[in-house]
Amino acid sequence: MNATEITVIGNVVNSPSRNRTQNGSVTNFRMAATERRFDSGTQDWIDGHSFFVDVECWGELGGNVSHSISKGDPVVVVGNIRTHEWESEQGRRSRPQIRAEAVAPNLARGTAEFKKTQRSSVAAQEAPESASDAPSVEELAEILGGREYDGAVGALQEEDAADLDPEPTHA
């Protein structure tokens, strides 16, 4: 199946709303992406055209969005864009809609604190059988001994000060 993937950077223009449907829970919000360009006449940055799009977030993503994102927040949305169509009194109508795969705060405009969601035991029971052989979080913590992977002994790859170049590499 071909899907048109898109990344949109903008601001949430309405409060996200969470609804239950026969297909599961969905959180919807609208966002606007406004171009910024430099006006050589005024020697200042000005707003250009705005692109408005509806965003739908299903399942666990929707729950996390409804608890984390508010009207006015700068966000980055990655997902598949499509045209939502319906009939109205004025005739056939349509507008763009993104089915989000990921939604994140735009850290170019502020800071955020990330909290991992705890998977419920119901979700663990519903996991595919191939995942049943995977160790639990507690087993992983025991295996890893509570160690961090940032240069710790036994890390996947040790840091070497000689490899840390203060300048970025340019291709």
Question: Does some domain include residue 54?
Answer: yes
pLDDT at 120: 63
Question: Does some domain include residue 158?
Answer: no
> Where are the strands (E) in 40-90, listed by range?
44-58, 74-88
Question: Does some domain include residue 35?
Answer: yes
pLDDT at 171: 45
Name 43's Cβ contacts closer than 8 Å, sequence gap at least 6. Answer: none
What CATH number does the domain containing 40 carry? 2.40.50.140
Question: Does some domain include residue 164?
Answer: no
What's the total number of domains in the chain? 1
Question: Does some domain include residue 60?
Answer: yes
Per the CB < 8 A criterion, the answer to whether 98 and 55 are in contact is yes
Strand partners, 74: 11
Per the CB < 8 A criterion, the answer to whether 53 and 29 are in contact is no
Structural domain of residue 13, as residue ranges? 4-106
Per the CB < 8 A criterion, the answer to whether 86 and 95 are in contact is no
Q: 0.85 cut: is pTM over it?
A: no
pLDDT at 74: 96
Question: Does some domain include residue 130?
Answer: no
Question: Does some domain include residue 37?
Answer: yes
**Residue pLDDT tens, the chain, 171 long:** 678 999 999 999 999 999 998 989 999 999 999 998 898 999 999 999 999 999 999 999 999 999 999 999 999 999 999 999 999 999 999 999 999 999 999 999 999 888 888 776 554 444 444 444 555 555 545 544 544 444 444 444 444 445 444 554 444
Calpha distance 120→114 (Å, rounded):
19
Name 167's Cβ contacts closer than 8 Å, sequence gap at least 6. Answer: none
Question: Does some domain include residue 144?
Answer: no
